[in-house]
Amino acid sequence: MTEITVSGMSSADIPAVSKLERLCFSDPWSSEAISTLVLSPERSDSFRQLTFAAHIGSRLAGYAIVYLVAGEGQLERIAASPEFRRMGVGKALLGAVMDEMRELGAGRITLEVRESNAAARALYESSGFVTDGIRRRFYRDPTEDAVLMSAEIK
């Protein structure tokens, strides 16, 4: 079994996260935006930005970005490198996110996912997420509906 370690992102992760962002998303966040999240994340009484990196050995296998807003988590990004998919990277990242949200007192976490992304939807459902609705034509390049999902954090 491959050992996956999950921790907060560090500055050393930024180049690999930026590369993976461009590989996995049709609307990638810029390297500068990722750097800002990692190096000087916003924090206030009602808002926090959290970043997670999953490594297999010394290689970045995936990452997650989540916001905590007024006691509720919003999963903004989660991605696993194609070479490490189906190895538990997404599950490990999602578990770390849920654990951190629980520790910070969040009662719920929400996300949206492309309707066609069956693998991600299956991961979320296996982790206790349920479908709350559809946001029509939410995604671009290509245009596609978003499935809105949430999970109670216990």
Q: What residue segments make up the domains of the chain, in order of their start?
A: 4-152
Give dist(CA 58, CA 35) in Å, integer.
Answer: 20
pTM here is 0.93
If you average pLDDT over residues 57-68, what whole number do you get?
96
Q: Which two tokens stand for residue 103?
A: 């520790």
Tell me the percentage of the chain whose pLDDT exceeds 90: 88
Give dist(CA 124, CA 112) in Å, integer.
Answer: 10
Q: Which CATH superfamily is domain 4-152 in?
A: Gcn5-related N-acetyltransferase (GNAT) (3.40.630.30)
Note the pLDDT tens digit of each residue in 101-149: 999 999 999 999 999 999 999 999 999 999 999 999 999 889 999 999 9
The residue with tokens 């180049």 is 15
In a 3-state reduction of DSSP, which class is residue 105?
coil
User: Catalytic positions, please?
Assistant: 112, 124
Note the pLDDT tens digit of each residue in 135-148: 999 998 899 999 99
